[in-house]
Structure 1
Amino acid sequence: MTSTGERIGIVGVGLMGHGIAKNIIEAGYPMTVMGHRNRAPIEDMRQRGAGETDTVTQLAAVSDIVFLCLPGSPQVETVVTQILKDKGAVHTIVDCSTCDPVSTRSLAKACNEVGIAFVDAPLARTPKEAWEGQLDTMVGAGEADFARVEPILKCWAGRIMRVGDVGAGHTVKLLNNFVALGYAALYAEVLAIGARNGVEAATFRGIIDGGRMDCGFFQTFMQYAVDRNRDAHKFTLRNAHKDMRYLTGLASESGIASHMASSVKNSFATAEGIGRGDDYVPMLADIVAELNGITRKEGSDRA
């Protein structure tokens, strides 16, 4: 177990944050977590030796480095604003959420003005890899800030890529998600067209499987679309819509025409708009089918 003087605070001990917190404390870092209504991960961290606070103010008073694993920019902005107001012990904030890079750069500027470093280190892979300490992270940070936090990132990440200065991590994460979510929208529409014309999802999977267009995302998508494994890709349509809103906003702020991104965003906006935001991304296949009058029976597509 490593001995270190850096005290770690974590806000957002959820699906991803729990694994991150577990691996950091196992490496010997003193830790405090902020409590929330889902008590199971909080109690687990307490049993592992973490302290618990009820507020950001209390957390900032006893933490040198604060990790954030939150739903998005509004929640991150609220926490960072409180840390700046409190002027506690914090010297570095590491944001592992998926956020709007425009907001990230603004927060970093405000933090730097009071001597707090801001690092964006969004995540890739799943809660399973978070627990195993094998997440991917794309880091936006200056060289000195990156060097300071890298040993802690290594506690929970198997692949660490510094992709540029502050904001670059969140930018790359959104680009990565755009590719994945673009595939999801494409697959969902392909399956609907196929079903209407007598081609079942299993047949289409068999054509792509093992060929040049195969990929890990295709496999997990089809594990739901064909095999009906609801847990194949546990990322909600609501979160997908949020990420695509950030991506199209970034494109607009950058002066980039975003025809494809806007179309993909609208697929997820529709899903959330009809009340399916808590469904997972591969379930977009069902939604597109239903909107086109196609129903699924016993694992098959029927027009």
Structure 2
Amino acid sequence: MTQANENVGFIGIGLMGQGMAKNIVEKGYPLTVIAHRNRAPVEDLVARGATEAKSMEEMASSCTLIFLCLTGSPEVAAAVAALKPGLAKGSVIVDCSTSDPTVTQRIAAELAEIGVDFADAPLSRTPKEAWEGTLDCMVGADDAVFARIEPVIATWAAKIVHIGGIGDGHRMKLLNNFISLGYAALYSEALALSRKVGIPIAEFDKVIRGGRMDCGFYQTFMGYALEGNREAHKFTLGNAYKDMRYVESMANAVTVTTTMSSAVKNAFALAMANGGDGPEDYVPHLSDFIAKANGIA
């Protein structure tokens, strides 16, 4: 299908989804969105040319390709169940959430029975890149489905990797998040230790920044830890904890030891258990919880 006859739906217009949806409609695709709790993103997208669906079934019946950008597998399964009665044979659902690969494969099998394709296309980077249309995306899909969805994904992603079949996008996303969230846990402990031995964060940063240990994730993390910008990396501690539980589950299923991933998960569990479960508690704020656990105000 082309832009002229591919009708795109988008469910989950939150921190990441709003920017992604903005790029889809501004780059020429007919777009349908649906409200959840916050009407502001819906009103913004409608003003840009999108249509608002009144129900999930209405969206399913009017769209040929539907993107999901939700919290995790339970929310994805619920959304698919709500869409299912209205889905037409030949339509495609693309899950951009960070989800459990076993659930992804189960949903794909269920949809295949009614002639609907499913793909996993999780993201990397931040809401800033979502708005700019420069996200990274790793896709799990068969070749024909990938060829169909790639042009739409390209409206909001600058780097697209067809990683393999259904479920492989989510497997790779969990590996990606294991590394990034591992950095967060490592930085948080290193900063606590640095302060304990009398090296201020600003001096620590002078050594790391611009050296071999520097990277994009370090810079956004330090946007909070050093500069105090609470919105430097808007990915919640709750989502990080969920993702690390998925990583641990994936490792358990194939009998891989989880020495490092369980340690990272437990760092986020500590934050969650001590009040870091709010909607504006973001990954760089982990440094505060690790500092407090070590007696640093």
Whether the TM-score (by the shorter chain) exceeds 0.5 is yes
2 CA distance for matches of 1:49 and 1:229? 33
**Deviation string, structure 1 residues 92-127 (Cα, Å, up to 9, x no partner):** 001111111111111111111221111111111122
| Structure 2 gap ranges (5+) | none
1 CA distance for matches of 2:173 and 2:295? 35
The alpha carbon displacement at 1:176 in A equals 0.8
2 CA distance for matches of 1:56 and 1:291? 45
Does the 8 Å CA contact 1:60/1:89 hold for their aligned counterparts?
no
1 CA distance for matches of 2:82 and 2:150? 25
2 CA distance for matches of 1:267 and 1:55? 39
Q: Does 1:142 align with 2:115?
A: no
Q: Does 1:71 align with 2:71?
A: yes
Counterpart residue number, 1:250? 250
Counterpart residue number, 2:46? 46
Does the 8 Å CA contact 2:88/2:116 hold for their aligned counterparts?
no
Q: Secondary structure at the match of 1:256?
A: coil
Counterpart residue number, 1:289? 291
The alpha carbon displacement at 1:155 in A equals 1.3
Q: Secondary structure at the match of 1:155?
A: coil
| Structure 1 gap ranges (5+) | 296-303
Does the 8 Å CA contact 1:63/1:89 hold for their aligned counterparts?
no
AA of the residue aligned to 1:37: R
Q: Does 1:270 align with 2:270?
A: yes
Counterpart residue number, 1:159? 159
Structural RMSD (CA): 1.5
The alpha carbon displacement at 1:131 in A equals 1.7
Counterpart residue number, 2:212? 212
Inter-CA distance 3–191: structure 2 relative to 1 (3 Å threshold): closer
1 CA distance for matches of 2:109 and 2:19? 29
Does the 8 Å CA contact 1:134/1:159 hold for their aligned counterparts?
yes
The alpha carbon displacement at 1:3 in A equals 4.6
2 CA distance for matches of 1:30 and 1:292? 53
Inter-CA distance 242–90: structure 2 relative to 1 (3 Å threshold): farther
Inter-CA distance 28–94: structure 2 relative to 1 (3 Å threshold): same
1 CA distance for matches of 2:218 and 2:30? 41
Counterpart residue number, 1:190? 190
TM-score (norm 1): 0.93
Q: Does 1:225 align with 2:225?
A: yes
Q: Secondary structure at the match of 2:154?
A: helix
Does the 8 Å CA contact 1:63/1:90 hold for their aligned counterparts?
no
1 CA distance for matches of 2:113 and 2:18? 31
1 CA distance for matches of 2:59 and 2:222? 43
Counterpart residue number, 1:236? 236
Q: Secondary structure at the match of 1:276?
A: coil
2 CA distance for matches of 1:73 and 1:230? 28
Inter-CA distance 89–48: structure 2 relative to 1 (3 Å threshold): farther
AA of the residue aligned to 1:280: Y
Which deviates further from its counterpart, 179-188 or 76-85? 76-85
Counterpart residue number, 2:20? 20
Q: Secondary structure at the match of 2:235?
A: coil
Does the 8 Å CA contact 2:19/2:132 hold for their aligned counterparts?
yes
**Deviation string, structure 1 residues 110-164 (Cα, Å, up to 9, x no partner):** 1112211111111111222212221111111111110011111111111111011
What is the count of residue pairs matched by the alignment? 294
Does the 8 Å CA contact 1:60/1:90 hold for their aligned counterparts?
no
Q: Secondary structure at the match of 2:251?
A: helix
